[in-house]
Structure 1
Amino acid sequence: MADPTSRAAALLKEHRDSIDRLDAILVYTLAERFSQTQAVGKLKAEHDLPPSDPNREATQIARLERMAQEAGLDPTFAKKFLNFVISEVIRHHEQFQK
């Protein structure tokens, strides 16, 4: 039987490997999300639409807060995260307007 320190080290490695996989999923998911929002930004610029849509943003934030609650994730954190992402998207959309 393995000693407790070796078992803890093995479990720690498993958790860290899982975290590494999830980090990769997050990065690639964010990249795909920004690819889509850039397409939206270009479309908005082509049709002289404003870079920000406050109603859509509020709806998305409320949706994410509900999903976070259901998933056991702190809704305040989820809201902060989405607000950060939205601010970056708007910044990109504003660049297309120039």
Structure 2
Amino acid sequence: MTTHDTAEQLASYRKTIDNLDSALLHILAERFRCTEQVGHLKAEQAMPATDGERERRQMDRLGKIANDVGLSHHFVESLMKLIVGAVVERHKEIAAEK
């Protein structure tokens, strides 16, 4: 493979990665729009910002999916803890505003 071919292949891979990154951000934005609604509902009903049982079930479910698609269970768990942590903080903010 020539240097030119390698550069073209690398550019192609990077374009795909860029497109996937954009898709991930759009999906995350939609997820946060939905969890925003959950936060308002919880605040209106004076429900706690966290639901440990739901979070445990989600981690178990997502761990199985991670295994099925060949992702590290540890990676998926770390990512979801980051996402859920941001959601819980936002739910607390919403509750404080009510």
Taking structure 2 as the reference length, the TM-score comes to 0.95
1:35-86 deviation digits (Å, cap 9, x = unpaired):
0000000000001011100000011111111111111111100000001101
Which AA in structure 2 matches 1:65?
G
Identity %: 35
Corresponding residue number in structure 2 for 1:70: 68
In the other structure, the counterpart of 1:10 is 8
What SS class does the counterpart of residue 52 from structure 1 fall into?
A: coil
Q: Does 1:37 align with 2:32?
A: no
How far, CA to CA, are the matches of 1:60 and 1:15 in structure 2?
A: 32
Hey, which bits of structure 1, 4+ residues long, moved more than 3 A?
none
What is the match of residue 54 of structure 2? 56
CA distance in 2, matches of 1:97, 1:59: 24
Deviation at 1:97, TM superposition (A): 1.0
Number of the residue aligned with 2:77: 79
Identify unmatched segments of 5+ residues in structure 2: none
AA aligned to 2:65 is M
In 1, distance between residues paired with 2:89 and 2:75? 21
The one-letter amino acid paired with 2:48 is P
- Tell me the SS of whatever aligns to 1:51: coil
Q: 1:89 aligns with which of 87, 90, 93?
A: 87
- Aligned residue pairs, count: 96
Q: 2 CA distance for matches of 1:82 and 1:29?
A: 14
**Which residue type is aligned with residue 48 of structure 1?**
A
